Each structure stands twice: as structure tokens, then as C-alpha cells.
Amino acid sequence: MKTTIYEREYKLGKDAVLQLGRSTLIMGILNVTPDSFSDGGRYNDRERAVAHALKLVEEGADMIDIGGESTRPGHEKVGAEEELSRVIPVIEAIHKQAPHIPLSIDTYKAQVARQAILAGAHIINDIWGFKDDPEMPKTAAELGCPVILMHNRRDRDYTDLIEDVKRDLMESVEVARQAGVQDHQILLDPGIGFAKDYDENLQVMASLDQLVALGFPVLLATSRKRFIQTVLDAPAQDVLEGTAATVAYGIAQGCQIVRVHDVQQVKRTAKMCDAMTYRSMELERI
């Protein structure tokens, strides 16, 4: 299997750096919410949130994704002020204690993104791919930070699922470009679990290489998702093996960042996958 790997170096402020192209990067999940689907309420206290972030880094996380609004199915929307009150103290505290740790802000609101970056975050992770808040593209361009554009839809009227997902993602890319975001700052996320049913999630998983071929690094976020729970007939907290399987499958198709709850175990999974994937690339160059 020929795997496309993009090489990128992101210098994030004075201390933080991300290097793509040498190994799979692990994004640890930090939800500072009362209602996230698998860990809601566990880390919505600043001290516990910071401690958990540092623990994830010790376990092998290359960056931390901080979210202040649950995006689980049926979630209640949170206003910008409430979201800011949840994430800003945590971002400031982590950045103060460990400025070398790259932080992403999981938000689709421009106001939250701006304040988070100014507080010490480095990356904007938008689940609506710049298609919800019209101020987000311009804000990201002004901040000059990397952006993760996730696939999402308000409906599921697909004609050809994979072609539609590819088209939707490139629409997000074009919105970003028009606002002034540079291509090297753009990463894509196929949006597993968003606007997709069980079969559609599996179809996207089987076609990740086509999304990688769009020309941008791809982040895969499958951790504890419902389609894995369905396959294994197990609750969210008991599907580590299923998450690891999706991670391995994604890495084999060229995904370069994985967003997960169980950092230590997935780090080991990724390390084994990298030994095979990156070795095969070296052999192709000989």
C-alpha cells in the first residue's frame, strides 16, 4: 500500500513546535464540559483539567485539544461567554505551566477562537469547517494559526458520499483561502460521527486515502465514537481496541494526526503502525 505523507513544520509561538512527516502525532482530548459523551464533567474544574492535560503529555500526547462545548448528538449549544469562561482559564494555566505544549481550541465560534489563541492556544479546530460562523475564516487568517477544517453537514442528502465529502471539504478549503489562510496552515478532518450514519462512517473510514489525496494533512478523530460502540456492542469507556483498530487503519491510509482519549495505548498502536508505514516509505525511495 502506497501511503501519502505530508511534511510540515509548525512553529507555534516562541516555544511550541509540531513536526509532521516523521511519525503520527497524537492529539489528546481535554473536554472542559459538563456533558461530553464519554468524559463530561470530569475535567471542568481548572486544576483537574490542567493535571489531566499534563498527564496526557506524559503518556505521549504531542498536543492537547481543548473544548468547552459538547458536540455529541443532541447537545445543547453553549453561548460564547460561557464557552470562554470554561476554556480560557484552562488554556492560560496550561500555557503558563508548559508553554512548549501545542494547544488547539475546539470551537466553531470566531470570538472564542480569537480569545483562545490570544490566551495561549495555537491551533483552531472547527467542527463546521468554517461554515458556521462567517467571522471565523477572517479571524483565523488574521491570527495566522494552523486550522483544522472538519467535514460536517446540517443534512445528509448525499448523492455520492465520498465525492460529496471531498467536495464539502474543498469548499471549506476555498472559504479559508479566500479569507487569506495559507494552504500550508490547513489540515482536514473527515468528521467521523458527524452527519453520517453507521454505514456512512464505515464507508468514509474505507476511503480515507482519497481524502488524504486532496493535498492536505488529515486528522482522524474516531475515539470512542458510536459506530465503534455498535460494532463491539460495548459502551464508550470499553472500546479501546476498536479505537486502536480505526487508528491503525487510518495511519495505513495516510492520516497523520489522531485525536484520542486513551493516549498511552494509542501512542503504542501508532508507534507500531509508524514502524511499518514509514519503513515502507524508506524502501520506496531506495
Q: Which residues are catalytic?
A: 225, 259
Q: Give the 3-state secondary structure of residue 8.
A: strand
Per-residue cell: 193? 460521527
Beta-strand relationship, 16-20 and 8-12: antiparallel
Q: Are 139 and 117 in contact (CB under 8 A)?
A: no
User: Cβ distance 70 to 35 under 8 Å?
Assistant: yes
CA gap 169, 175 in Å, rounded: 10
Burial of residue 43 (CB within 10 Å: 0-12, 13-18, 19+) is buried
3-state helix, strand, coil in the chain (%, to 5): 45, 15, 40
Q: What contacts 147, CB < 8 A, 6 or more positions away? A: 123, 124, 125, 126, 130, 140, 176, 181, 185, 186, 187
Output phi, psi for 267, to 5 deg: -60, -40
Following DSSP, what letter does each residue of 104-145 receive, concatenated? EEE-S-HHHHHHHHHHT--EEEETTTTSS-TTHHHHHHHHT-
Beta carbons of 247 and 259 less than 8 angstroms apart: no
